[in-house]
Chain A
Amino acid sequence: MLRAVWFSALLVGLSGCSPWEQESKYLERITYGTVRTGGNGVAEIRFPLPEDFSSSKVLFRFDNLEEGQTVFVSRVDGENGSIVRNFASEVEIGEYSTGAVSRQRQNHFNWPIDASDPAMPADELRVNIAAVSSDGETLSAGSDIGVEAIITDDGGFESGRLRVFVHWTAGLEQDPELRASVDAALVKMQDIYWEFGVEVTVEERTQDDFSILAEGAVARPGFGTPDTWNAITASTDELALDLVLVDTISGSDPAVLGAAGSVPGGILPTPRSGVIISTAANAGPDLVYSESEVDLLGATFAHEIGHMLGLFHPVELTYERWDAVDDTPNCQGETGCQARLGENLMYATALCTASDCVEQEALTEGQIAILQRYVGVN
């Protein structure tokens, strides 16, 4: 039975709403409308929350800026005006909890982020966003930003289900050996997430289902023709992640094995919503998958999906930037980081010998808490 939804007087527009019940889980897609930044380049969104969504998750999409402008999230405020999260302080110390602090043409922001975030307020969520001028240096006053969101409530943050659409391009699925390897790798990915309380369901699509997949020339999310990723994500369920399999990634070095559009990733259509994986790069020079390479492909699927669910690398290769997760250590240097984080699913680098690689399939409790709060995990 659908729960009643309530919208405050501040709700600018309402279109495309399609509330439905999904096995006792509740979802709303809300078009908030357009907000305009003030004299300081910042706009405060007072996002109305449906009643009785006790364990809500919200994923915002910010877009429709003028050419060259970008948007980022600066702060989340509490009901009484107190600051719940000030992202400026995270940026200052080089530890990020969300990619939404990065200026982007289209930005995604998931709330709550982790277990330290308070329960959703009773009436509205206050998020400050800022527009950056096309010069990239100054905040832009009077800029219009389109705001849309998906909100779900699955009753808790301990477990959930994630739907993933796997899109096969250019007839790749007709190669039986490749198909078998990918299917085995997808099972591996599902096994990895099962350990974290996430049941991943996979649905596959081919060019017979969707003509845009026939061309095969798909660039990384955020690159190439914007319409491609818009169309791919618009063609599937609103709560599903889209993962596109290509031989090699168009417009990129053929050795690029995969990429996610953002952290967290978008499920509403944007030119950067989704994950792309190269079947050639992951197979290596012989273009054939060994058993070890199938496992590695499964870990690559899981790693890139992890980005979409809000996880950063626990440490970047510069060893001077870390995620903001409390229980992933801020390690120093290659040796120290390998020892402390080398088995983590989100470690940036595969650790291999001449004959095999270390299994990187672990996540910390803090990382699991983040992915369980992603709007697509229900």
Chain B
Amino acid sequence: MWLFLSLMAFAAEPEPVLGSSVPEWTEPLKTQVAPSDSVAARVQVALAHREPVRCADILGFGDATAIRDALIAGTRTAFPPWAPMRAASCLAELGPSDPVAFERLKELVADEEQPGFALVVVGALDTYAEGQAVELASVIKSNSNTLLQARLPGRLLNCRHAGVRDLAR
């Protein structure tokens, strides 16, 4: 009888849904540094983060122009090496609607000393209108860096835009 009552008491005991207040590990942690820090400082910290960071979070830090300028500055950062890559990746999200970002991206993907930028941007071409995508892809295609050219064909062929796929053939 005692055992039965004990089991009933256990069964009735409410348990908190712990998981509801803990982000799933599969969801990258949101990146928000102290609001008092400047946008540039916040962007710099986020770019240096070791874990995946959503560009949407970075783009939400504050004034759009200040963030874009911080990202452009970020593409000139040397260390850590993934920071300029992440800056380019977030700039690529701005590119479709921000002419300044788009022009900077064209400079980046043309840089034969830094083919990683083209690698980043080619992965974002699906998010562009076909004309912009072809414009960027043409510059990427003309970048003669051998490390880049070895990686390009498959990536361009996977693009949703026929004009980009044509460039790869």
Contacts and interface: CB of A to CB of B under 8 A. Distances in A.
- A pairs with B: yes
Interface of A: 38-42, 44, 70, 72, 74, 87-88, 91, 96, 99, 101-104, 128, 130, 132, 136-139, 220, 222-223, 247-248, 252-259, 261-263, 272, 280-288, 292-293, 296, 300, 303, 313, 316-319, 333-334, 348-357
B90 to A, nearest CB: 8
A41 B15 CA distance: 8
Contact of A293 (B18, B21, B81, B120): B81
Contacts of A44: 10
A334 B33 contact: yes
12 contacts: A38-B11, A102-B22, A103-B20, A254-B89, A255-B82, A255-B89, A284-B78, A284-B81, A285-B108, A303-B50, A318-B32, A348-B50
Given A256-B52, A272-B26, A333-B34, 5 more contacts: A42-B15, A70-B24, A285-B75, A285-B84, A354-B77
Contact of A317 (B17, B20, B21, B32): B32
Contacts of B131: none
Contact of A40 (B12, B41, B117, B123): B12
A319 B31 CA distance: 10
B119 A357 contact: no
B156 to A, nearest CB: 14
A286 B114 CA distance: 4
A280 B116 contact: yes
Interface string B10-47: 11111111111111111001111110010001000110
B14 A40 contact: yes
B113 interface: yes
B37 A334 contact: yes
Nearest to B93: A253
B4 interface: no
Main secondary structure of the interface of A (DSSP, over half): loop
Given A102-B22, A284-B82, A139 B15 contact: yes
A355 B77 CA distance: 9
A24 to B, nearest CB: 34
A223 to B, nearest CB: 7
A287 B25 contact: no
A252 B51 CA distance: 12
Contacts of A333: 34
B19 A253 contact: no
B160 interface: no
B25 A262 contact: yes
B138 to A, nearest CB: 20
Given A41-B15, A88-B16, A101-B19, A292 B79 contact: yes
B18 A87 contact: yes
B33 A319 contact: yes
Given A253-B89, A286-B116, A222 B79 contact: no
Interface in B95-139: 108, 111, 113-117, 119-120, 123
B52 A259 contact: yes
Of A261, A280, A287, A300, most B-chain CB atoms within 10 Å:
A287
A99 B108 CA distance: 39
A241 B100 CA distance: 45
Contacts of B15: 40-42, 74, 88, 128, 130, 139
Contacts of B114: 285-286
B49 A101 contact: no
Contact of A355 (B14, B24, B79): B79
A245 B166 CA distance: 30
B168 interface: no
Nearest to A249: B52
